[in-house]
Amino acid sequence: MPFLLSAMRTTRETIEVYWLLVRIMVPITILAEALSRIGAIEAVAPAFAPVMHALGLPAELGLAWLTGMLVGVWGAVPLVFTLVPAGAMSVADITVFSALVLFAHGLPIEQKIIRQAGPAMAVTTLLRIAGGLLYAFLLHGLLAATGWLSSPLDPVWIPMSATPGWPEFLIGLAESLAWMFVILLGLSLGLQLLKATGILGLMMKALSPFLRLIGIKGEAEHLTAIGLFLGISYGAGLLIREARSGAISPRQIFLSCVFMGFAHSVIEDTLIVMALGADFAGILVGRLIFAFAAVAAIAAFLRGLPDETFHRWIFRSGAPASADRNLTDTADA
């Protein structure tokens, strides 16, 4: 009975989040299609060309990357195959692009939540973008040198693709939105099942020794693990409370927020991009290894940083007194 009540609440919350996503995604997707049809995408694409080409990706995907950073994973997903046909990409391409988006997405909302816990918004935002670019560059270099994942892309799910006419496009958009709801609800209920069976708790417990190795200790371990599996809205949301109580040191809070920025909501987000054809090892295993190594390096740097400098530039003591509940509810949608 408790699980049934929890499932009903989760379904209601998922519908609310889904409706918010629809209101964001539909106008952006239609606008992107319109711009593509009049040639505007081809005209703008060169601005993204240097970054995309450095990562071995089509320049057109720069628009999907920008949308992902501003809106979120679900904002980028419908644009991918609208901008570049699936047949024109390899598994390596979608894996590198997915990694780029998974590091830095939904920045205006997620970074505002992180700021409430104390870390300077500009610093953590730059770290997420720079970390994503560095990891995507290293991943591209590895894949290009080895030829790994060079096979043609054959996605399980194509949210949207280029269509010959507006009626077909709108029908395809409606189908994509329907599937998006099914996937989003399935993921949400799946997480509730993991919680109810205790599996999620065991996963968090297994992660603690690794977090201690990179300098994240005590209560910060548990909250970081929550963010890793469930998302920034949960992990950083709880950190806000602990930051105000003084139970966790500012440096621990900062390291936790940086780690969550690099790797959060790994169950839901990983499954979404795997449906597009991204490789599991590239988007999760390698990403986690990079996140642990990068945060360990940042922790070593912080150990030699004077408190005055840390609090002046990196961590703002006295986080805002009230977090925006709507932001916390929708950050990892």
Residue 114 near residue 261 (C-beta atoms within 8 A) = yes
- Mean pLDDT, residues 250-261: 94
Alpha-carbon span 103 to 131, nearest angstrom? 7
Residue 110 near residue 331 (C-beta atoms within 8 A) = yes
Alpha-carbon span 278 to 275, nearest angstrom? 7
CA distances, 194 to each of 3, 16, 234 (Å): 11, 22, 16
Specify the higher pLDDT residue, 171 or 133. 133
Look at residue 8 and tell me whether its pLDDT is greater than 60: yes
Tokens representing 171 are 């029908």
The set of residues, in sequence order, having a beta carbon less than 8 Å from that of 222 and lying 6+ positions away, is 204, 208
Alpha-carbon span 90 to 276, nearest angstrom? 11
Look at residue 289 and tell me whether its pLDDT is greater than 80: yes
Among candidate residues 36, 76, 40, 41, the one with its CA nearest the CA of residue 159: 76
Look at residue 306 and tell me whether its pLDDT is greater than 60: yes
Q: What is the pLDDT of residue 194?
A: 84
Q: What is the pLDDT of residue 6?
A: 78
Q: What is the mean pLDDT of the chain?
A: 86
Residue 91 near residue 144 (C-beta atoms within 8 A) = no
Alpha-carbon span 282 to 287, nearest angstrom? 7
Specify the higher pLDDT residue, 162 or 200. 200
Residue that the structure tokens 């909302």 belong to: 109
Specify the higher pLDDT residue, 4 or 105. 105
The set of residues, in sequence order, having a beta carbon less than 8 Å from that of 214 and lying 6+ positions away, is 255, 259, 292, 295, 296, 299
- Mean pLDDT, residues 272-291: 96
Q: In degrees, to the nearest 5, what angle opens at C-alpha 80 toward C-alphas 264 and 231?
A: 10
Alpha-carbon span 21 to 187, nearest angstrom? 15
Q: What is the pLDDT of residue 317?
A: 66
pTM for the whole thing?
0.81
Q: What percent of the chain has pLDDT over 70?
A: 92
Look at residue 264 and tell me whether its pLDDT is greater than 90: yes
For residue 119, list its beta bridge partners.
315
Look at residue 324 and tell me whether its pLDDT is greater than 60: no
Q: What is the pLDDT of residue 318?
A: 52
Among candidate residues 231, 246, 226, 229, the one with its CA nearest the CA of residue 319: 246
For residue 315, list its beta bridge partners.
119
Specify the higher pLDDT residue, 196 or 294. 294
Residue 231 near residue 191 (C-beta atoms within 8 A) = no
Measure CA of the first residue to CA of the last residue in the chain; give whole Å: 26
Alpha-carbon span 296 to 213, nearest angstrom? 8
